[in-house]
Amino acid sequence: MYYEWTFTIPANTAEAAAEEHELIMDSGVIVGMSVYNAPGCHRVCRCRILEELSVLWPGNPEGYIATDGDVVKWTEHYVLKSPKYRLILRAWNVSENHPHDIVVRINVLPPIVASPFLVINDLVNVLKHLIGMD
């Protein structure tokens, strides 16, 4: 599944008053992510992606993702354990004059596709059980 959200963050939105937006996805495994701001943004529109209160991305909790016309993208292997899994985009905009858009894109695959070794591991465990090696 491919998910894409665009959020407009108003000018003068301080980090302490950051907007929060839900990113709702079906269960599966996140295998790719990207964040984009339009050219001319000058890295003033910033964000973090959280699960509940914990910062997931960027990996350093004090950091943030910000671009100026570039796409920040990375591969991932993050399991979404339940249907309608919810992550939070926390975003702020230190520009005094202009609102800015943040585009978040997430690719989610079924676990059997994203983690085929898990299926093989389950098969080995069944075979061990059948021949009495468990």
36: domain CATH number is: 2.60.120.380
The number of helices, as runs of H, and strands, as runs of E, in the chain is 2, 8
> What's phi and psi for 85, nearest 5 deg?
-70, 140
| DSSP conformation letters of 65-100 | B--SSPEEEEEEEEEE-STTEEEEEEEEE--SS--E
Q: What's the domain count of the chain?
A: 1
- Could you tell me the pTM of the whole model? 0.85
Kindly report, residue by residue over 11-37, the tens digit of the pLDDT: 999 999 999 999 999 999 999 999 999
Instruction: For residue range 68-114, list pLDDT tens digits in order.
Output: 999 999 999 999 989 999 999 999 999 999 999 999 999 999 988 88
* 116: containing domain: 2-130
Confidence class of residue 57 from pLDDT cuts 50, 70 and 90? very high
Tokens of 72: 């920040």
